[in-house]
């Protein structure tokens, strides 16, 4: 398969490194600003829930972390597939960069869920709850991916072997998701994607969506920063990096 | 088909010449199954409640034990390399190896299950469903185990990491399998989870060997 030119450029580490340099201030700045606005609005000004009271404010943090965790897995798997099929080293670098972020956000989803679960469900952890189980399994998939990477000495081989694992995992994710859904759930169903539009009033929906946008931008900012570090590590001897570092030193 | 038969029968021959290794997963299974009642010191009713889950988890854990032998021996003595260099399709060779592996490791395990189920007071009426669910889960489990072996074939010691990779992926098997048996223990129809297990088996058998073959190729390079 022949690659179009715009795609080709994304295979060039210096190009991507500089692109990331240009994008990062925007992603980081906008993400940080939205994070501040959404957090203050959601935690201080949005109305409390009529049933759950103040503890419902977790909805401005917890669903977003869970969503970023899953998105990180998809980014990792798509990048892995691209890297495997076209032997694009940079795509592998993206996958490697996404994995720890995904693992961390998945952990945060579990943690914030547990903190919220204590006052609301009366327990930090409920074995057998589908979403908790799904998130835990997702975390294990991330950890397995990272562990497999660590085990290889040869980076090229590690890239391609873990790519296969990531792609198999993405096939498995909907299966795991629906299989755990089969249990009786304690977890509430989706509020945003409910039948007949979001089951939230506008004054709660707006900060919720601001937080979704903020988390998404922050995720991509983190991803690009990690990617830059990964590129420097992989291309450490290349001339353009020496020049880059030389410039920085002066 | 000729290539399939050749690899398949060779793998069976090699396996049967190492009798003792074949017994390892079976012994491990028996030990795990023995440890649970020791840890729980349960009544007969409690045993029946946890029995199905214990048997399934023990089966999954035991299937991991034999997995290292699937590709490692052949990778070390160069057989696998020759197989990849030969005109035979790697996917066909992988099919043959994985099928032979399932036959010599998983099927004997499943034969042990009804006996252990009896000791856990699981009603005899539920045994056919239990065994059927295990048999339907076997192709998927074999593919996952094969994938774990293939992903770690390039490592000097893959043993400790394989569990991390394979076990999370086996969770749907565990859920559907135990649900089928639970339903039939309560006298309800267990068709739905069994169909789902069968669907997973079809998916695994059609796509799995491609992924395993790809992983073996990368690992051997």
Whole-prediction pTM value?
0.88
Report pLDDT digits (tens) over B110-148.
999 988 988 888 888 889 999 999 999 999 999 999 999
pLDDT greater at residue A237 or residue B36:
B36
Cβ of B164 and A175 within 8 Å?
no
Residue A183: Cβ within 10 Å count: 14
Written as six digits, the tokens of B168 are: 């999370």
How many domains, in total, are found in chain A?
1
Is position A29 within any domain?
A: no
How many domains, in total, are found in chain B?
1
Cβ of B161 and A151 within 8 Å?
yes
Report pLDDT digits (tens) over A122-168.
788 877 677 888 889 899 999 999 999 988 888 889 999 999 999 99
Buried/exposed A159-177: b ≥16 CB within 10 Å, e otherwise: bbbbbbbbbbbbebbebbb
- B residues 3-22 lying closer than 8 A (beta carbon) to A: none
Is position A24 within any domain?
A: no
Q: Which residue of B has its CA nearest to A168?
A: B211
User: Where in the sequence is the domain holding B185, given as residue range(s)?
Assistant: 2-220
Cα-atom radius of gyration of chain B, to the nearest Å?
18
- A residues 103-162 lying closer than 8 A (beta carbon) to B: 133, 137, 140-141, 143-144, 147-148, 151-152, 154, 157, 160-161
Written as six digits, the tokens of B110 are: 């499943």
pLDDT band for position A250 (cuts 50, 70, 90)? very low
Q: Please provide residue B192's backbone torsions phi and psi, each rounded to the nearest 5 degrees.
A: -60, -55
Percent of chain A residues past pLDDT 70, beyond the cut: 86
Q: What distance lies between CA B75 and its chain's CA centroid?
A: 21
Q: Does the pLDDT at position A199 exceed 80? A: no
For tokens 């086996």, name the residue. Answer: B170
Report pLDDT digits (tens) over A62-101.
889 999 999 999 999 999 999 999 888 899 999 999 999 9
Q: Please provide residue A53's backbone torsions phi and psi, each rounded to the nearest 5 degrees.
A: 65, -140
User: Where in the sequence is the domain holding A228, given as residue range(s)?
Assistant: 35-44+56-249
Residue A195 DSSP label: T
ipTM: 0.87
A84 CB-near residues (< 8 Å, 6+ apart): A160, A163, A164, A167, B214
Written as six digits, the tokens of B145 are: 């185990």
Is position A98 within any domain?
A: yes
> Count of residues for chain A?
250
Cβ of B179 and A182 within 8 Å?
yes
């Amino acid at each position: 398969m022949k690659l179009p030119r715009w795609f080709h450029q994304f295979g060039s580490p210096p190009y991507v490194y500089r692109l990331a340099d240009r994008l990062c201030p925007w992603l980081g700045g906008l993400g940080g600003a939205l994070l501040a606005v959404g957090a203050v609005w959601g935690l201080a000004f949005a109305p409390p829930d009529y049933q759950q009271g103040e503890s419902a404010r977790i909805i401005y943090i917890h669903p977003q972390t869970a969503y970023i965790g899953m998105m990180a897995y998809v980014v990792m798997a798509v990048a892995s597939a691209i890297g495997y099929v076209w032997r694009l080293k940079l795509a592998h670098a993206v996958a490697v960069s996404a994995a720890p972020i995904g693992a961390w956000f998945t952990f945060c989803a579990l943690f914030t869920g547990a903190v919220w679960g204590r006052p609301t469900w009366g327990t930090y952890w409920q074995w057998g709850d589908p979403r908790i189980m799904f998130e835990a399994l997702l975390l294990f998939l991330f950890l397995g991916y990272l562990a497999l990477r660590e085990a290889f000495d040869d980076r090229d081989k590690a890239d391609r072997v873990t790519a296969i694992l990531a792609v198999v995992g993405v096939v498995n994710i909907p299966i795991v998701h629906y299989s755990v859904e089969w249990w009786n759930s304690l977890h509430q169903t989706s509020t945003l994607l409910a039948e007949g539009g979001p089951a939230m009033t506008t004054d709660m929906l707006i900060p919720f969506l601001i937080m979704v946008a903020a988390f998404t931008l922050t995720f991509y900012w983190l991803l690009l920063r990690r990617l830059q570090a990964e590129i420097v590590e992989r291309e450490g001897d290349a001339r353009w990096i020496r020049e880059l570092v030389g410039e920085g030193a002066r | 088909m000729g290539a399939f038969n050749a690899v398949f029968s060779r793998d069976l021959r090699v396996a049967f010449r190492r009798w003792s290794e074949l017994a390892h997963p079976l012994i491990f299974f028996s030990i795990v199954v023995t440890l649970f009642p020791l840890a729980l010191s349960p009544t007969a009713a409690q045993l029946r409640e946890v029995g199905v889950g214990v048997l399934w988890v023990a089966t999954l854990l035991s299937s991991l034990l034999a997995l290292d032998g699937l590709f490692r021996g052949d990778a070390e003595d160069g057989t696998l390399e020759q197989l990849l260099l030969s005109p035979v399709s790697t996917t066909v060779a992988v099919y043959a190896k994985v099928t032979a592996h399932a036959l010599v490791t998983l099927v004997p395990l499943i034969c042990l299950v009804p006996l252990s189920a009896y000791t856990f007071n699981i009603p005899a009426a539920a045994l056919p469903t239990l065994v059927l669910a295990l048999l339907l889960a076997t192709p998927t489990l074999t593919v996952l185990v094969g994938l774990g072996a293939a992903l770690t074939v390039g490592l000097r010691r893959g043993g400790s990491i394989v569990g991390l990779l394979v076990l999370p992926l086996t969770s749907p098997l565990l859920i559907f399998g135990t649900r089928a048996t639970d339903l039939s223990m309560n006298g309800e129809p267990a068709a739905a989870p069994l169909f789902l297990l069968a669907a997973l088996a079809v998916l695994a058998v059609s796509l799995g060997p491609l992924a395993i073959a790809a992983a073996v190729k990368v690992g051997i390079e």
